[in-house]
C-alpha cells in the first residue's frame, strides 16, 4: 500500500504494557532510556530484568519532561519496587502471576514500531560526515523546521523522521521511498549513472 509507512507513523498503533498505556515512542524516551543504560536500547541486545522493564514502561508512559522529573525523584526506585509488588499481588489469586516474559515481548514490539525509519535515497555529492550523535541532529533538524524543543523530544519518533527527512527532500538532499517503484527508479538511476561514468573512466585510463 503506497504511503503505508507514513500512515503507520502518522497514526501510531496504541500499546499497553503492564496495565499502563504507553505514549507514542519519541526521541525523548530514547534519550531517557539511554541515560539510565536500559538494556532495551543497548547496542547489543541484552536480557532485561523486571525492574528494567518497569522503569522503561514508567518512562514511556510519560512525556519527556515528566520522565526527567521521575528520574530526578529520589523516591523513584522505591516507587518502582512498590509497583512491582502491586503488579505481582494483582495476579495473586489467579492461576498464574503476571507473565513478565510476555510483557517484555510486548514492550519490545512497541520499541520496534517506534524505531522505524523511512527509507531514503541520499543524493550523491550531498553526504556530509558529522560528529554529532543522530539524536542531536534530529532534534535540531526538527527545531529548524519550527518545532519547539519539547515538541521535538515528545514527537512520535517515526513521524519525527518523516517530517525531518521530508524537509530535507524539499532541499533536494534526500528522497523518501514510499513505494517499490521508488526503489526501482533509484536502481535504474544508479545503473544509468554507472553507464555514463564508464566511458569517461576509460578515456582517463587511455
The three cell numbers of residue 128 are 556530509
Q: How far apart are CA 182 and CA 118, in angstroms?
A: 12
Find out whether 49 and 38 touch, Cβ atoms under 8 Å: no
Q: According to the model, what pLDDT value does residue 25 have?
A: 96
DSSP 8-state assignment for residue 39: G
Mean pLDDT on 20-42:
94
Q: Is 174 left (phi over 0), alpha (psi -120 to 50) or beta?
A: beta
Indicate whether 92 pLDDT > 50.
no
Indicate whether 79 pLDDT > 50.
yes
Q: How far apart are CA 45 and CA 43, in angstroms?
A: 6
For residues 94 and 129, the model is more confident at: 129
Question: Full-prediction pTM beyond 0.75?
Answer: no
Indicate whether 182 pLDDT > 80.
no
Amino acid at each position: 500500500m503506497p504511503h503505508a509507512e507514513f500512515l503507520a507513523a502518522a497514526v501510531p498503533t496504541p500499546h499497553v504494557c503492564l496495565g499502563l498505556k504507553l505514549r507514542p515512542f519519541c526521541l525523548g524516551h530514547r534519550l531517557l532510556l539511554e541515560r539510565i543504560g536500559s538494556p532495551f536500547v543497548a547496542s547489543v541486545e541484552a536480557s532485561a530484568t523486571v525492574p528494567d522493564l518497569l522503569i522503561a514502561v514508567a518512562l514511556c508512559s510519560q512525556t519527556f519532561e515528566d520522565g526527567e522529573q521521575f528520574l530526578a525523584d529520589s523516591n523513584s526506585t522505591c516507587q518502582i519496587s512498590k509497583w512491582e509488588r502491586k503488579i505481582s499481588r494483582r495476579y495473586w489469586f489467579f492461576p498464574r502471576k503476571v507473565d513478565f516474559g510476555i510483557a517484555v515481548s510486548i514492550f519490545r514490539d512497541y520499541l520496534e514500531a517506534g524505531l522505524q525509519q523511512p527509507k531514503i535515497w541520499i543524493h550523491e555529492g550531498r553526504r556530509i560526515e558529522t560528529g554529532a550523535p543522530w539524536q542531536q541532529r534530529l532534534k535540531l533538524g526538527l527545531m529548524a523546521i519550527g518545532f519547539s524543543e519539547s515538541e521535538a523530544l515528545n514527537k512520535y519518533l517515526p513521524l519525527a523522521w518523516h517530517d525531518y527527512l521530508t524537509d530535507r527532500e524539499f532541499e533536494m538532499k534526500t528522497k523518501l521511498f514510499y513505494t517499490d517503484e521508488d526503489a526501482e527508479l533509484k536502481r535504474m538511476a544508479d545503473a544509468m549513472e554507472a553507464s555514463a561514468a564508464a566511458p569517461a573512466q576509460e578515456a582517463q585510463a587511455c
